[in-house]
Amino acid sequence: MCELVGDRSWVLHPRPSPVAAAMYTLRDLGADVIVLHGPAGCNFRAARLLERDGVRVVTTSLDQNAVIFGGEDRLIDTLVEVEARFSPSLVGVVGTCCATIIGEDMSRAAELSGVTCKVLVVDCDPYNPDNVDGAIRTLEAAQRNGLISEKEATRQCRMLAAANRNEKESGSARKRYFSTYGGDSMEEAARSVYDTLVSGGPIALVLNAKKETSYLYADVLCAVKYLHTALGSDSLLYTVANIDPGIGLEKIRGYAQNIASCFAEQGLEVDVLTGGLDEYAISGIRAASALESAHQDWERILVCGLPHAVPVWDHPRSIAVSTGSRALYAIRELGFSRVLDEGEAHCSVLGANGVVESAFGTALRAFGGV
């Protein structure tokens, strides 16, 4: 259905895992339980984080005997227990490095288990350097099993291929090795925004975020709007955001709708919708085009979420808000004047039902007395 493009050269620094990408995609599809067919410790962090979002994650805990003699019985027993214990509607089964090495037939095990719940088996390729491969394989399995339409699967795979290409062109996969960076001073960046609002200079606000992390990055825009109102500023706030509530899976559309409602409550008008929350790879280009089309001499450009996908880094007063020490280093090298770290962004949004407070948002509000 979808082929990844780009250089598959060896990247020296750690990269995200296709197994984790498959797990998060199963979450988006509404899986109640995810079974990792492999050792107990495989993708432990992703498993624990997903449980905050209401998804139960279990493992077949493959050991040396299973690796030698096969783990089919262990997977069958796990599926039977999962159905008895949790009464799920949809269970996702994801293969790990171990299952791949020994050539486990997970679909056969799912059939032999006799469970009555829907089981979606993802034959993951943990050795693929492109982590989006795990998401693509999950979507293709979902389409084959009638969970999503062929049209939606094709659209999402196209977006994932674009994200993969973007990561290799301007993200943290564009070089063999990136060091780490802890980010610039939140207070100094907040002061620069405050000064712009006091002087009345125009500010461009860009939300180009991915799925649930948008709940955190949207708060930065809300904080700028709060400060704008508190100061009685004459600054033009021009807002572009990839929160189209009509695009994506139901869960993703829900994120977008919740953010749109929050913006409306804050009196923050979105001037240009650049796409959906799963279209960050192409919505960033649309955002940059929208800023250019506005024909403003922007005093400040603030990009939140995935700034490397928004080609405005040559602006002399651009601020990027993101997370991940290597991603921050890569963003800083692009040319953004300030790069801010939102720390454990993923942890703070899992299980959330709306916009959550951000570190930079807190720093901004402090200049308005909150």
Q: For 316-342, how does the pLDDT look when each residue is reduced to its tens digit (9 = 90+)?
A: 999 999 999 999 999 999 999 999 999
**Which sign, positive or negative, has the C-alpha torsion 55, 306, 162, 246?**
positive
What integer pLDDT is reported at residue 370 of this predicted model?
60
11 to 130, 282, 308: CA distances (angstroms): 11, 24, 18
Contact criterion met (CB below 8 Å) for 62 and 98: yes
What integer pLDDT is reported at residue 24 of this predicted model?
96
SS3 sequence, 197-208? HHHCCCEEEEEE
Please name the amino acid found at residue 278. D
Please state which CATH number belongs to domain 186-366: 3.40.50
Instruction: Select from 142, 137, 139, 111 the least CA-distant residue to 126.
Output: 137
Maximal C-alpha separation, the chain: 72
Q: Which residue has the tokens 């624990």?
A: 48
SS3 for 22? helix
Percent of the chain with pLDDT over 70: 97
pTM across the whole model: 0.93
How crowded is residue 60: how many other Cβ atoms within 10 Å of its Cβ? 29
pLDDT along the chain (370 residues), means of 10: 53 90 97 95 90 95 81 95 98 92 92 97 90 96 96 96 94 93 97 98 98 97 97 98 97 97 97 98 97 97 98 96 96 97 86 94 90
Q: What is the pLDDT of residues 111-127, one digit of tens each?
A: 999 999 999 999 988 88
96 Cβ contact list (under 8 Å, min separation 6): 19, 36, 37, 38, 39, 42, 43, 124, 126
Contact criterion met (CB below 8 Å) for 67 and 124: no
Which residues are bridge partners to 121 per DSSP? 93
Which DSSP string do the residues of 36-104 spell out, in sequence order? EES-TTTTHHHHHHHHHTT-EEEE----HHHHHH-SHHHHHHHHHHHHHHH--SEEEEEE-HHHHHHT-
Domain-wise residue ranges, the chain: 18-169, 186-366
Sequence length of the chain is 370
Q: Which residue has the tokens 């993708």?
A: 43
The topology under which CATH files domain 18-169 is Rossmann fold (3.40.50)
Report the alpha-carbon distance of residue 330 to residue 278 in Å, rounded: 22
What integer pLDDT is reported at residue 66 of this predicted model?
76
What integer pLDDT is reported at residue 111 of this predicted model?
97
Report the alpha-carbon distance of residue 151 to residue 157 in Å, rounded: 10
